[in-house]
């Protein structure tokens, strides 16, 4: 069933998928797992498996993080991963 596009659908910023160039993923706080989506910003049918999910039966919009945001996060991740090596 196609979800009704709700004007107040939450916008979820996504990270690039490691397994699919241009695909997007985000960590779902309800399912406690990654949700994987294809290319393109916009409305999606929630991939929730948790019946308690607030996304279930609603729609959400996904949006890839900007390259500037990703570079900033990459730097932070690198710093975090390398902090014990110094
Ligand atoms: Zn979910």
- List the beta bridge partners of residue 33: 28
Say if CB 72 and CB 53 are below 8 A apart: no
Residue 26 lies in a domain: yes
Query: Within 13 Å, how many C-alpha atoms sit on residue 33's CB side?
Result: 9
Give 40's contacts (C-beta < 8 A, 6+ positions apart): none
- Asked if residue 40 belongs to a domain, the reply is yes
Provide the pLDDT for residue 55: 86
Which positions ≥6 away from 33 have C-beta within 8 Å?
27, 49
Give pLDDT, residue 34.
Answer: 96
At residue 4, the pLDDT reads 58
In a domain, 2, yes or no: no
Asked if residue 6 is part of any domain, the answer here is no
- The boundaries of the domain holding residue 18 are 11-82
Does pTM surpass 0.95?
A: no
What's the CA-to-centroid distance between 86 and ligand 1, angstroms? Answer: 38
If one counts the domains in the chain, the total is: 1
Q: What gap in Å lies between CA 47 and CA 29, rounded to an integer?
A: 12
Residue 5 lies in a domain: no
pLDDT along the chain (86 residues), means of 10: 67 96 96 95 90 86 97 96 85
| Distance in Å, CA 59 to ligand 1 centroid | 11
- Give domain status of residue 29, yes or no: yes
């Amino acid at each position: 069933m196609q979800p009704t596009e709700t004007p107040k659908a939450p916008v979820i910023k996504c990270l690039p998928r490691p397994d699919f160039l241009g695909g997007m993923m985000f960590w779902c706080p309800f399912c406690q797992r990654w949700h994987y989506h294809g290319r393109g910003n916009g409305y999606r049918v929630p991939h929730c498996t948790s019946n308690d999910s607030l996304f279930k039966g609603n729609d959400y919009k996904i949006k890839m993080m900007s390259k500037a945001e990703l570079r900033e996060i990459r730097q932070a991740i690198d710093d975090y991963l390398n902090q014990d090596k110094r």
